[in-house]
A and B are shown apart, each in its own frame.
Chain A
């Protein structure tokens, strides 16, 4: 993953749309299906 080098340098930055709890996976999928996300939709387990 040489592309990761450009993340380290800041030339490519992550773009997050939503951060949701893991149990809201259905909502996350709807955001993507409806093209409502700007960037990535992330799920976070409760133990995090």
Chain B
């Protein structure tokens, strides 16, 4: 099959489109004929290499997949060949206390498919294998491309804002990178819960797109001071929730922008992992 593979970490030129062996499934897995797969920032981290994290080489990235079940393992009973599915990319042991209580993200064997799996075990390929437990029926109203766009971004944004952030109607939510894949999900979740998304993006075209998705306020970070705008919008109170995924470049502003007792939820940290925190604010603005 054709796949996008890299054999060592480095630049974009390390990504090779070439023939690789078809995945072989075990009794609890299924093989999917990939119709579409999404790109996420973890694809970039995997290619570049991350200090403190081992990426199995050679590597096929791709955490989000939609497609048709091509083959099922001998123990699989929940899907059949020909089923149209999408992949939930959180892979866990399914046996520990965390998994049994629905908190599989804390499973010590938790892995993100297409990022921490491998070698040669991701969705940027013509075929992909995953545990049968990780496939869900594709909503019929969605195209293959739409279905592939959802899992990682939607699950992450939902977990951050709903499960961990306890978003409430009326909350002000600062959403960094609001026009990106995860940001667009965050803005829509805010609208769904009656919260007020304050969308931050780098230009007005992106901000118009976030407004169409339901953002209540917009801040152009290229022209406006985000912290000053937050103070004005919230009448100096600060936001109830900060939706962080940018990291080092935005962290200090995120902490400062919280109301007293506010909540900062974070993932990704695409601009860097070493962020400065004024501990005085962490005691009040959190």
Contact = CB atoms under 8 A, between A and B. Distances in A.
A35 to B, nearest CB: 6
Tell me whether chain A's interface is mostly helix, strand or loop, or mixed. Answer: mixed
B88 A45 contact: no
B12 interface: yes
B202 interface: yes
A14 B182 CA distance: 11
B37 interface: yes
B25 interface: no
Contacts of A28: 39, 43
Interface residues of A, number: 39
A4 B157 CA distance: 12
Given A38-B206, A40-B153, A47-B126, A30 B181 contact: no
B149 A40 contact: yes
A42 to B, nearest CB: 5
Interface string B131-150: 00000100101101111111
Query: Interface size class for chain B?
Result: 35 or more
Interface string A10-45: 111111110100110110111111010111111111
Given A4-B139, A7-B139, A42-B38, A15 B44 contact: no
Interface of A: 1-4, 6-8, 10-17, 19, 22-23, 25-26, 28-33, 35, 37-48
B142 to A, nearest CB: 7
Contacts of A29: 12, 15, 39, 43-44, 47
Given A41-B38, A48-B36, A1 B179 contact: no
Interface stretch (B73-81, B183-191, B229-237, B274-282): B183-191
A14 B118 CA distance: 28
A12 B17 CA distance: 33
A46 B284 CA distance: 54
Contact of B13 (A6, A19, A26, A38): A26
13 contacts: A3-B155, A4-B139, A4-B154, A7-B142, A8-B139, A12-B192, A14-B145, A22-B126, A25-B4, A28-B43, A30-B12, A38-B209, A44-B36
B262 interface: no
Interface string B153-190: 11100100010000000000000010111001100110
Contact of B180 (A39, A43, A45, A48): A39
Nearest to A28: B39
Contacts of B55: none
B34 interface: yes
B256 interface: no
Interface string B24-57: 0000000001111111110110010000000000
A39 B186 CA distance: 11
Nearest to B123: A43
Contacts of A39: 149, 179-181, 184, 209
